[in-house]
Amino acid sequence: MIKAKKKFGQNFLQDQGVLSKIIKAIPNETTPNFIKNVVEIGPGLGDLTFWLLNSGFLLTSYEIDDELVPILNEKFQKEVKEGRFRLINKDANEAWREQQSLSDKPYILVANLPYYVATKMILSALQDELCVGVIAMTQKEVALKFACKGEDSDFSALGVLANLNGSCELLFDVAPECFEPKPKVVSSVLQITKSHELLGEFGLFKNLSEYKNFGEFLKICFSAPRKTLLKNLSSRFDKNLLNQLFLEMNLNTNLRPHESNVALYLEIYKQIKADNERKQQRSNG
């Protein structure tokens, strides 16, 4: 009998009712259309894998645990031969670093993510241009951070990024009893839907570098959640410029980071970026 390995953060989801709800949450169509292509991270013993394949999806699964690979290949040998299932023995994080995507075509990520790397993996999926949506299970605390919207006291940089080019919703909670072994916390399934482009000519950002700069900007904005947004920004940017921006945008100088929203953060970033570019042009000229 295979035992879950703590070093890989393994908690095998085995509740059939929960598995069914995850499958039902997968949309029929996306923009661009994912054409039934699904990527799974950490298939474990193959419980979710079985449901995905039985539902007609074309599945690629990344499994880091060498011991589980032959078991999964044996269990789904028919689907492997038919070309409906591809198992890759590799850390998904490493795959993202090497090739920027987990697939060569549009896909939806469906996964029971290990808690210790869930945040990093969701952030990677958000900037993966071929990933058109995410249905992921992680600990409830992390899911809430991604799903929170502006005005919510738990709204953070993760909430901004998750709702930047689409929407993020917490679908349902999953009790520890649904896993083997049982985790010590409640889990949640969240859904991220990407409705428009993040990068490129028609995207929110010209390239990945600019998107990462926006991520660094958000870290400054939320660096001290209890302080005002203006004070946090003043630690890195010109205070006179910021005062002028807040005046022009009719923003309260006592505004806290969580009291803002995605559109407002984009506009502030855009204005600061434009000012920096003007200063750069003057210094070069």
Query: Annotated binding site: which residue ranges?
Result: 11, 13, 42, 63, 91, 112
d(CA 263, CA 281): 27
Which residue ranges make up the annotated binding site for S-adenosyl-L-methionine? Answer: 11, 13, 42, 63, 91, 112
pLDDT of 209 reads 94
pLDDT-derived band at 18, boundaries 50, 70, 90: very high
Residue 8's pLDDT is 52
pTM: 0.92
When pLDDT is averaged across residues 253-265 and rounded to a whole number, the result is: 94
The whole-chain average pLDDT of the chain stands at 92
State the pLDDT confidence band at 279, using cuts at 50, 70 and 90. confident
Domain spans of the chain, in order of start: 6-194, 208-279
- pLDDT category, 150, cuts 50, 70, 90? confident
Class in CATH terms, 208-279: mainly alpha
Please state, for a pLDDT cut of 90, what percent of the chain lies above it: 81
Say yes or no: domain 6-194 is CATH 3.40.50.720. no
pLDDT number for residue 285 = 61
**pLDDT band at residue 7, thresholds of 50, 70 and 90?**
low
CA distance 208 to 226: 30
Question: For 22-80, what is each residue's pLDDT tens digit?
Answer: 999 999 999 899 999 999 999 989 999 999 999 999 999 999 999 999 999 999 999 99
Q: Give, in degrees to the nearest 5, the angle at Cα 57 between 54 and 63.
A: 90
Q: Which two tokens stand for residue 36?
A: 């039934």
Phi, then psi, of 56 in degrees rounded to 5 = 90, 15
| pLDDT tens figures, 190-201 | 999 999 899 998
- The pLDDT tens digits of the residues spanning 105-145 come to 999 999 999 888 999 999 999 999 999 999 999 999 999 99
